[in-house]
Structure 1
Amino acid sequence: MFKSKKATRTPLVMGQEKFDTLIGRNAEIHGCLKLRESVRIDGKLVGTIEAPQDGTISVVIGPNGEIEGDVIASRIIVAGKVSGNLHGFERVEIMASALVLGDIKYASIAVEHGARLQGVMLQIEAREDNAGIDLAAQAAIRKAQTTGQPE
């Protein structure tokens, strides 16, 4: 009569996006990646990942992916490890298997239960002017670091 329904899906599900660029599990890249299309990273990247603000570019860090550097893109999905700051112009999604060691700026965010985060989280307006974002973010981060309390 009263059967318990177990959820068979997690709240966040990796989309069926098309990736023309894939950095494989055994690859290790050192340097800055400037994107013109979406990318999935299953290997290791030491350096920054930058996508233009006016595009709709996604960066997906798979469960085995590891980034040592900042990631700047419209949409960022993390299932692996990031040691650096994330700046999602539209959305940031943190999966249960993720470890993020850095600050997160986002317009919209979703965090799965079990994800590990260490850093300041700051919501911004979607596609806000970069100068305004950086000034507001820096002020909030400075205040949180000195007082231990966000604005």
Structure 2
Amino acid sequence: MFGNRNVGSTTAKRNGFSVLGPEVTVTGDIEADSDLHIDGTVAGDLACVSLIQTGSGRITGAVRARSARIAGTIEGSVAVDDLTIEASARILGDIAYASITIEGGATVEGRLSRTDAADKGADRPVRLIAAAE
């Protein structure tokens, strides 16, 4: 009845999805083998598979991810393979990317540098979008 019938079996690893709501503040580094949705505040370095940061999100520290959509504020370096910076975003720090989209109205204060990953298939390294009126 209480025996372990799964001895020797393996379970497939699933990447999860975590949300930090607008009322949440995290002080310290975050490393996640999953996707993160940030509405709150992170004071520390952040590394994840995929990042979605809303306009209310604020990150003070380095950001590393395979893909990211940024709409809030980041004070620190950003290293993302596939990066979208929305019109409401404000990034104060250097950005390393393979593919990047910057919407009109976004604020970026730092250096942009294309990484080697861009040479492995990204056919549009930089695309600027005009602001909607």
- Same fold, judged at TM 0.5 (above): yes
Q: Name the CA shift for 1:61/1:27 in 2 (closer, same or farther; >3 Å).
A: same
Q: 2:70 aligned with 1:78, yes or no?
A: yes
Report if the CA contact (8 A) 1:62-1:79 is conserved. yes
Pairwise CA distance, 1:70: 0.6
Pairwise CA distance, 1:127: 7.8
CA distance in structure 2 between the aligned counterparts of 1:127 and 1:22, rounded to whole angstroms: 29
| Partner residue in 1 for 2:108 | 117
1:107 paired residue among 93, 98, 103: 98
Q: 2:50 aligned with 1:58, yes or no?
A: yes
Report if the CA contact (8 A) 1:19-1:40 is conserved. no
Greater share of residues in helix: 1
SS of 1:126 mapped into structure 2: helix
| Partner residue in 2 for 1:37 | 34
Cα RMSD (Å) of the superposition? 1.7
Greater share of residues in strand: 2
- How many residues are matched? 105
Larger radius of gyration: 2
Q: Deviations over 1:60-83 (max 9, x none)?
A: 111100000010010121100000
The unaligned stretches of length 5 or more in structure 1 are: 1-17, 52-56, 129-151
Segments ≥4 residues shifted beyond 6 Å: none
Report if the CA contact (8 A) 2:99-2:118 is conserved. no
Report if the CA contact (8 A) 2:85-2:103 is conserved. yes
Amino acid at match of 1:46: A
Q: Deviations over 1:5-39 (max 9, x none)?
A: xxxxxxxxxxxxx9720000000000010111000
CA distance in structure 2 between the aligned counterparts of 1:21 and 1:45, rounded to whole angstroms: 14
The unaligned stretches of length 5 or more in structure 2 are: 1-14, 120-133
Identity %: 30
CA distance in structure 2 between the aligned counterparts of 1:21 and 1:112, rounded to whole angstroms: 26
